[in-house]
Amino acid sequence: MASIDYAGYGVWNSTNDVTSKVRQQYSAGQRTFIANNGDYGDPSPGDRKYLYIVWNSSDSGVVGEDDSRGITVP
């Protein structure tokens, strides 16, 4: 089981800290995370946002908004 250290959603200087939301989703059994405004808000309307997650202090992933590949956290 991974330890989620940090998660952010946004672009440039308009980023939401979504760590608690991702931790909650992970605890509920979710392992693939898709960047979208529905789950993480819209910190920069009109811009393409990115979700980035850091886990286990050294592993990380980033994915663009609505990219169906998402980030898979083991």
Q: What is the pLDDT of residues 8-33, one digit of tens each?
A: 999 999 999 999 999 999 999 999 99
pLDDT of residue 13: 92
Count of domains for the chain? 1
Q: Which domain holds residue 56?
A: 4-8+18-72
- Please state, in angstroms and rounded to a whole number, the distance separating the CA atoms of residues 22 and 15: 15
Residue 18 confidence (pLDDT): 98
Q: List % helix, strand, coil for the chain (3-state, nearest 5).
A: 20, 40, 45
Asked whether residue 45 is domain-assigned, the answer is yes
48: in domain = yes
Q: Tell whether 38 is covered by a domain.
A: yes
pLDDT in tens, 21-73: 999 999 999 999 999 999 999 999 999 999 999 999 999 999 999 999 999 99
- pLDDT, position 34: 98
Q: What whole-number distance in Å separates Cα of residue 28 and Cα of residue 44?
A: 28
Task: Confirm whether 54 is domain-assigned.
Answer: yes
